[in-house]
Amino acid sequence: MDIQLEKKKGLRPKHYGYIAIGLLVLFVGYQLLFASSVSTFRTEKDKLSIAEVTHGKFDDYITINGNVAPITTIYMDAYEGGRVTEKLIEEGAMVKKGDIILKLENMNLYEQILASESNLALKQNDLRSTKLTFDSRQVEGRRSLATASTDLQRLKRNFEQNQALYDDELISREVYLKSKEDYELSKKQYEIIKKQTENDDELRETSLKGLDTDLARMQKTLGMVYQRLDHLNVRAPADGQLGYLDAEIGQSISQGQRIGQINVLTDYKIEADIDEHYIDRVKRDLSAVLERNGKEYALRVRKVYPEVRSGRFRVDLVFTENKPETIRTGQSYNIKLQLGESNDALLVPKGSFFQSTGGQWIFVVGADGGEALKRPIRIGKQNSRYYEVLEGLDAGEKVITSNYDSFGEAERIVLK
């Protein structure tokens, strides 16, 4: 007869193993679920640029490209408009100040000169006629004044004689009074003629002075017109090289039109465009070095232009000592522009990651090389080879320096 065994209640030893396996499965599932919340991008390691963070000397300079230009460029604008009749000097030729480069003709200007000459001739004739009139009046006035003075003296003498005779009762009262009246009338006429003569002299002086002023003004105006005529000869404003000349025989040139330029070749400057990132650090008198054929030539920043165009601004540099013997306008040179003194720092090789991150973060490769994680950093200065790292990285760590645009919003890069 079989005996029925009762099942024991509670956990048996084998149950603990099942529980442990279940907890492990739950933990692994949780980890996988947590890991999946981090945005991940998978790529081949060979397609990326990976560099090591190093500790070394940071040279605070940038490499810029500049073009040689004349130390001074003088533009030639047409003082007067006209048609080109003769071209005496070609582009590229050396000129002296005052050399005639172009000859123009302007018929309207010729007509203005003729009109000014005619007006001046008329004014001169008017002045001569006025002078003759005033001279005649002056002579007539002085003649009348002399006659009046003589009559006054004669009548005064007659009056004084008659007065003595009248006092002695040798002549009648009527004769005495008539001589007195004639004398007083002559005296008044003399004063009138004298006043009139003085007024004529003042009028003559004032009128002739005004006419002389008008005549001088017209002569000056005519001189300026003649000067305009001379401006039809386009002359070199300085010694140098005729850089370009935009004029051909028969071409009409407008007044003020740019027709050419003179390059003053007594010295040279280098014009360079620099990224706007450095606009706050580039100042006048910064030092720079140009290397050519194994020699270094010292430069100095002469001028910093304030305008920023297409993300770049312009500077002019000049040689402080010697310059290359074969230097020519238009040549291109690479120049090291020193922005500050060298110092020890953590260095990351330059790469296109900076354009994607602005230097605010970077992907750091793990020790096993299998993945890279996003890490915030702080970049300081930069030169043509390195970025200066201020925070976020340690020497010996490896980082991805290639472009990040294809990574999207990923915070973890799996490297195959």
H-type alpha helices, 55-106 = none
What is the predicted pLDDT for the residue at 36?
47
Distance between CA atoms of residues 332 and 324, nearest Å? 12
Residue type, 85: T
Give the CA dihedral 49, 55, 61, 67, nearest 10 degrees: -30
Distance between CA atoms of residues 26 and 275, nearest Å? 55
Cβ-in-10-Å burial (0-12, 13-18, 19+) of 103 comes to middle
**Residue 100 pLDDT greater than 90, yes or no:** yes
User: Percent helix, strand, coil in the chain (nearest 5)?
Assistant: 40, 35, 30
Cβ-in-10-Å burial (0-12, 13-18, 19+) of 155 comes to buried
What is the predicted pLDDT for the residue at 1?
46
Dump pLDDT digits (tens) for 174-200: 988 998 899 899 899 989 988 888 888
At 25, phi and psi to the nearest 5? -60, -40
What is the predicted pLDDT for the residue at 37?
55
Dump pLDDT digits (tens) for 315-327: 999 999 888 888 8
H-type alpha helices, 36-77 = none
User: Any residues with CB less than 8 A from the CB of 416 and at least 6 apart, and which?
Assistant: 42, 43, 44, 45
Closest CA to 317 of 10, 15, 66: 66
**Residue 98 pLDDT greater than 50, yes or no:** yes
Mean pLDDT of the chain: 85
Dump pLDDT digits (tens) for 351-377: 989 988 988 999 999 988 889 999 999
Distance between CA atoms of residues 319 and 335, nearest Å? 12
Distance between CA atoms of residues 327 and 69, nearest Å? 10
Distance between CA atoms of residues 200 and 209, nearest Å? 14
Distance between CA atoms of residues 101 and 92, nearest Å? 12
Dump pLDDT digits (tens) for 30-68: 555 444 456 889 998 888 999 999 999 888 888 899 999
Closest CA to 304 of 291, 288, 324: 288
Dump pLDDT digits (tens) for 232-285: 899 999 998 898 898 899 999 998 899 999 988 888 899 999 988 888 889 999
User: How many other CB atoms are there within 10 angstroms of residue 23's CB atom?
Assistant: 10
What is the predicted pLDDT for the residue at 122?
82
Distance between CA atoms of residues 254 and 272, nearest Å? 34
What is the predicted pLDDT for the residue at 398?
93
Burial 156-179 (b: 16+ CB within 10 A, else e): bebbeebeeebeeeebeeeebeeb
**Residue 24 pLDDT greater than 80, yes or no:** no
User: How many other CB atoms are there within 10 angstroms of residue 152's CB atom?
Assistant: 19
